[in-house]
């Protein structure tokens, strides 16, 4: 396998780990070898072999110390090869000068350690060649006999085992590197996806009630990162009181075996005290230890909720005046009629207004001026009635006012007359005054109208009766 820079870095880390584990035993072996020369296998003192053993122990100790204090690239890659070479040369010198069979065993140990530590073929080949040269020199310097046979057997067996161990470890490292690269690539893709999305990750551990929130969550709601540290109760205190129960029940439901995916819209209080709409999604799963955890993501849906409110408002309100439209009016009247059927003591009135002479304003001053008149009339109707009353525009110059909990039909008639006078006050348009008159009709909920449509039709019919009465009083021929 080629060795690109990431792979070399990966091997360097593995080599460092192996050296950290191998150095202390090598130091102990060096000192044990030196002690054995003096006390375990006493014989004629050879200063050359003693110096070789002592220098081996000191060199191994120095390298081990440097590896702990300053594990640089050269020390790991080149220093390990240099140390193994020095040990091999010194063992060979010791074997030749002292003729001690344990030297040959120690040379085999160095071969085995080399195969167990080195992680690339070039260094392994260089070390193998150097060790072979040291072994060959020691072999040629040794008298023929059992010692030579032992040297050959130990060196051959140690070399074979070292190569098998080395190749096996190399394949393991290559597989581990490819797995790490794949995992790192997947993690990077995941991190890029999270960073590029608007989602904030979370994880809840039901065992200790701890809740992890990603930094994106704090940024989403304007909090400092310190707000991320805490338990489930701390987070629930930020959830809108009306949504808190639903959120708690949804989390508990995830602990059931048949639980599906969690998906819930709710409101969370931001750092400015305002509530923002968010969508929480997630699912429960067991980790490697069998503990159930719930994880997922938060998504800020405030903009979507705002758009939904706007669309809902436009669907139920008149675009020009902002008043309720026909659909809103009929839905409300249906609800009120159903309520009256269950509670006959409740009453309400429906007043239908139609502007007289409005077409003349459009014809003289144009439709823009007519729109300003309609907006002004809508504002007058809105401000002259209670908040619980409903003011609606059916279209054109037709308006309806629903008088909730009116005392009687007569009271509704009085309110309607007062409203007519408010409507007919002069309106200033481009520095000029304009007047519009109006006619109205009143429908009463106690007259047995079954739904909103019938109530509006009854008020409309009463309004046309008022118009006809005006014409009769003015002597205008009736159609």
473-to-123, 128, 404, 413, 417 alpha-carbon distances in Å = 119, 126, 32, 20, 18
Pick the more confident residue, 203 or 61.
203
Q: Grade residue 353 by pLDDT with cuts at 50, 70 and 90.
A: very high
Q: Are both 355 and 229 inside the same structural domain?
A: no
Q: Is residue 98 part of a domain?
A: yes
Residue 289's pLDDT band (boundaries 50, 70, 90)? confident
Within-domain flag for 479: no
Q: How much of the chain, in percent, has pLDDT values that exceed 90?
A: 28
What average pLDDT is seen over the chain? 78
Give the pLDDT of residue 99: 47
Tell me, yes or no, whether 10 and 134 share the same domain: yes
Confidence of residue 81 (pLDDT cuts 50, 70, 90): low
Higher pLDDT, 220 or 110: 220
pLDDT at 422 > cutoff 80 = yes
User: Would you give the DSSP letter of residue 119?
Assistant: -
* Domain membership flag for residue 383: yes
Q: Are 271 and 176 contained in the same domain?
A: no
Same domain, 54 and 168: yes
Q: How many domains does the chain have?
A: 3
386, containing H or E segment: none
Q: Check residue 223 and give its pLDDT.
A: 86
Q: Are residues 66 and 168 in the same domain?
A: yes
Residues 260-284: what's their mean pLDDT? 91
pLDDT of residue 67: 64
12 vs 452, residue with greater confidence: 452
The model's pLDDT over 434-464, given as tens digits with 9 standing for 90+, comes to 888 999 999 998 888 889 999 999 999 999 9
What is residue 100's predicted lDDT score, i.e. its pLDDT? 52
Same-domain status, 334 and 387 = yes
Is the confidence at residue 423, as pLDDT, over 70?
A: yes
The gap between the terminal CA atoms of the chain, to the nearest Å, is: 102
Q: Are residues 98 and 229 in the same domain?
A: no
Report pLDDT for 275.
93
Q: Which of 165-179, 196-210, 404-418 has the lowest mean pLDDT?
A: 165-179
Q: At which of 301, 333, 358 does a domain end?
A: 301
Which of 144, 166, 187 finishes a domain?
A: 187
Q: What mean pLDDT comes out for the span 97-112?
A: 52
Is position 436 within any domain? yes
Q: 307 in a domain, yes or no? A: no
- The answer to whether residue 127 sits within a structural domain is yes
pLDDT tens for each residue of 290-323: 788 888 889 999 889 989 888 998 899 999 999 9
pLDDT at 75: 61
Q: Same domain for 80 and 183?
A: yes
Both 288 and 416 in a single domain? no
Residue ending a domain, choose from 146, 163, 187: 187
- Domain of residue 164 covers 5-187
Token match 């060795």: residue? 3
More reliable by pLDDT, 418 or 432 = 418
DSSP 231: B
In a domain, 312, yes or no: no
| 313 vs 131, higher pLDDT | 313
Q: How would you class 7 by CB atoms within 10 Å of its CB: exposed for 0-12, middle for 13-18, buried for 19 or more?
A: middle
- Report whether pLDDT(69) > 80: no
42 falls within a domain: yes
Pairing between strand 398-404 and 348-356?
A: antiparallel
Q: Are 344 and 228 members of one domain?
A: no
* Average confidence (pLDDT) over 337-343: 89
Please tell me whether residues 367 and 470 are part of one structural domain: yes
The domain that contains 445 carries what CATH number?
3.30.70.270
CB under 8 Å to 401, separation ≥6 — which residues? 350, 351, 353, 381, 385, 389, 390, 391, 392, 415, 416, 419
């Amino acid at each position: 396998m080629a060795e690109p820079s990431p792979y070399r870095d990966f091997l360097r880390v593995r080599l460092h780990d192996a050296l950290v584990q191998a150095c202390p035993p090598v130091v102990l072996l060096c000192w044990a070898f030196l002690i054995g020369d003096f006390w375990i296998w006493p014989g004629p003192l050879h200063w050359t072999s003693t110096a070789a053993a002592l220098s081996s122990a000191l060199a191994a100790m120095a390298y081990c110390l440097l590896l702990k204090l300053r594990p640089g690239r050269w020390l790991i890659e080149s220093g390990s090869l240099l140390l193994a070479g020095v040990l091999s040369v010194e063992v060979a010198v010791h074997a030749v000068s002292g003729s001690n069979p344990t030297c040959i065993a120690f040379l085999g140990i160095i071969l085995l350690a080399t195969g167990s530590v080195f992680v690339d073929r070039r260094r392994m080949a260089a070390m193998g060649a150097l060790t072979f040269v040291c072994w060959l020199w020691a072999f040629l310097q040794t008298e023929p006999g059992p010692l030579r046979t032992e040297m050959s057997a130990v060196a051959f067996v140690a070399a074979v085992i070292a190569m098998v161990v080395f190749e096996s470890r190399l394949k393991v490292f290559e597989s581990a590197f490819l797995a790490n690269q794949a995992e790192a690539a997947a993690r990077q893709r995941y991190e890029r996806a999270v960073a590029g999305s608007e989602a904030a990750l979370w994880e809840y551990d039901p065992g200790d009630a701890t809740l992890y929130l990603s930094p994106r969550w704090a940024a989403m709601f304007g909090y400092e990162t310190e707000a991320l540290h805490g338990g489930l109760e701390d987070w629930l205190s930020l959830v809108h009181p009306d949504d808190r129960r639903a959120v708690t029940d949804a989390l508990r439901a995830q602990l059931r075996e048949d639980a599906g995916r969690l998906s819930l819209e709710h409101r969370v209080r931001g750092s400015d005290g305002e509530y923002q709409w968010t969508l929480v999604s997630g699912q429960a799963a067991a980790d490697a230890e069998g503990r159930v955890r719930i994880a997922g993501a938060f998504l800020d849906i405030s903009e979507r909720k705002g758009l939904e409110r706007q669309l809902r408002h436009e669907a139920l309100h008149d675009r020009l005046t902002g008043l309720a439209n026909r659909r809103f009016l009929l839905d409300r009247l249906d609800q009120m009629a159903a309520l009256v059927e269950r509670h006959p003591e409740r009453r309400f009135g429906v007043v239908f207004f139609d502007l007289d002479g409005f077409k003349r304003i459009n014809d003289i001053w144009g439709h823009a001026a007519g729109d300003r008149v309609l907006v002004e009339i809508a504002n007058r109707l809105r401000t002259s009635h209670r908040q619980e009353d409903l003011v609606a525009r059916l279209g054109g110059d037709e308006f309806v006012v629903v008088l909730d909990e009116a005392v009687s039909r007569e009271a509704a008639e009085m309110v309607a007359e007062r409203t007519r006078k408010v409507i007919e006050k002069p309106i200033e348009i481009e520095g000029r005054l304009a007047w519009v008159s109006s006619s109205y009709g009143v429908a009463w909920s106690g007259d047995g109208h079954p739904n909103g449509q019938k109530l509006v039709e009854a008020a409309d019919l009463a309004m046309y009766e008022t118009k006809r009465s005006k014409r009769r009083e003015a002597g205008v021929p009736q159609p």
